[in-house]
Amino acid sequence: MVKEQQKKYLISFILISYNRIEVLLECIASIKGQTYSDIEIVLVDNASSDGTAATIRRSHPDIRLICSEVNLGVPGARNLAIRHASGEIFAFIDDDCLIRDTEFASKLNLFFSKRDEVSILTFKIINYFTNKINRHEFPHRNKKLSDHEFETSYFLGGANAIRRQVFESIGEFYSDYFYGFEELDFSFRAMEHDFRMFYSPRFEVFHKTSADARPSWRSVYFFTRNRIWFAFSFLPWYFIVSQLIIWFSFFFFTAVKIRHPMTFFQGIKDGLRGLPKIYSRRKNLKISKTLMKKIFNLKGRLLY
């Protein structure tokens, strides 16, 4: 009996960075420490002013560096990187993350070569300082599942791997979000095209987020605005109402707590102002009853 030969994919590690050269260099070092040889690093310098580009050119000339003169936001920068990437698998890692397992890329290649049903894989994100999982960085309501593999209805933007085929089929991330919700938007579009997503605890990424990190006015603004755009792009009216009531309450109290209440109202204003463009997307993106049922079965969130 002839043993089936394992596929060997080129894996493109995609990084974007804005004025975080120190953590970026640590991230790059952890990727370069991989034993798997068929990898490339594609980095978008998102209009940094701290000398990121010069440092990378000097210390890592083998990295495929793309410099943007303006800050494209997270989805825009990742789209730019994808256009310059050669791999069959795109591994997206935030620049303040580290990979400790030197066999990570080798295991990733093995996983995708054996699991044809998996199109998107979301990694296990561990807080670098506490060695625990952050609640908002886990794709399921039941946090007790963190050590188990399962199919999920969305993936985490800062630590995941996606087959090139998915982008070729459904297009790029929606860049107008700028920050936040691009991965949830992409998840819904992927599922509507029958691509499946899984979480696996075998792939650990350590996130250097502060243990006492607090919401910023930027996150309040973008999450408020983008929640409006996401809801009106995909959801039936009754879920739009429930989501906006629940999340607006949360964002408002968060804005008051950090003493930036006007940021919340600006997010609503700009969200509503962008609705004409969103309505044009809704014609093609409003989720089907079949997809709603699948999301419910996967314990995904539609009500909130």
User: pTM here?
Assistant: 0.95
Let me know whether 230 and 108 are in one domain.
Answer: no
Residues 131 and 248 in one domain: no
Pair 119, 230: CB distance under 8 Å? no
Return d(Cα 137, Cα 155) in angstroms, integer.
9
Same domain, yes or no, for 138 and 48? yes
Q: Evaluate whether residue 15 is within a structural domain.
A: yes
Residues 107 and 146 grouped into a single domain: yes
Q: What sections of the chain are H helices per DSSP? A: 21-32, 52-59, 73-84, 104-114, 164-170, 182-192, 217-234, 237-257, 261-273, 275-285, 289-297
Cα atoms in the Cβ-side hemisphere of radius 13 Å centred on 73: 15
- Do 103 and 202 lie in one domain? The reply is yes
Rounded CA-CA distance 253/261 in Å is 8
Buried b (16+ CB within 10 A) or exposed e, 245-262: eebbeebbebbeeeebbe
How far is the C-alpha of 192 from the C-alpha of 175, rounded, in Å?
Answer: 20
From CA 25, how far away is CA 21, in angstroms rounded? 6
Tell how far CA 162 is from the center of its chain: 10
The reply to whether 185 and 253 lie within a common domain is no
* CB proximity list for 99: less than 8 A, separation 6 or greater: 30, 31, 33, 34, 93, 204, 205, 206
**Is 291 inside any structural domain?**
no
Residue 60 sits in the same domain as residue 182? yes
Q: Would residue 133 count as lying in a domain?
A: yes
104-143 CB burial, b ≥16 within 10 A, e <16: bbbebbbbbeeeeebbbbbbbbbbbeeeebeeebbbbeee
Q: Which segments within 89-148 are labelled E, that is strand? A: 89-93, 97-98, 120-127
Per the domain annotation, does 297 fall within a domain? no
Q: Is 50 part of a structural domain of the chain? A: yes
Half-sphere exposure of 187 (CA within 13 A, CB side): 27
Q: 223 and 202: one domain?
A: no
The CATH code of the domain that includes 136 is 3.90.550.10
Tokens of 33: 């420490």
Quick check: is 4 in a domain?
A: no
What is the token pair recorded at 190? Answer: 């992927």
pLDDT for 3: 53
Query: Which of the 8 DSSP states describes residue 194?
Result: T
The residue from 184, 207, 230 where one domain ends is: 207
Does residue 298 lie within any of the structural domains? no
Q: Which domain holds residue 179?
A: 11-207
Helical pair 261-273 and 275-285, crossing angle rounded to 10 deg? 60
The answer to whether 70 touches 38, Cβ cutoff 8 Å, is no
In a structure prediction context, what are the per-residue pLDDT tens digits for the chain, which is 304 residues long? 445 568 999 999 999 999 999 999 999 999 999 999 999 999 999 999 999 999 999 999 999 999 999 999 999 999 999 999 999 999 999 999 999 999 999 999 999 999 999 999 999 999 999 999 988 899 998 989 999 999 999 999 999 999 999 999 999 999 999 999 999 999 999 999 999 999 999 999 999 985 445 569 999 999 999 999 999 999 999 999 999 999 999 999 999 999 999 999 999 999 999 999 999 999 899 999 999 999 999 999 898 8
Classify 43 as helix, strand or coil. strand
Q: 175 and 90 in one domain? A: yes
> Is 260 found in the same domain as 166?
no
Torsion angle of alpha carbons 80, 196, 222, 25, nearest 10°? Answer: -50
Please give the tally of structural domains in the chain: 2
202 and 222 share a domain? no
- 233 and 195 within one domain: no
Residue type, 111: F
N- to C-terminal Cα separation, the chain:
52
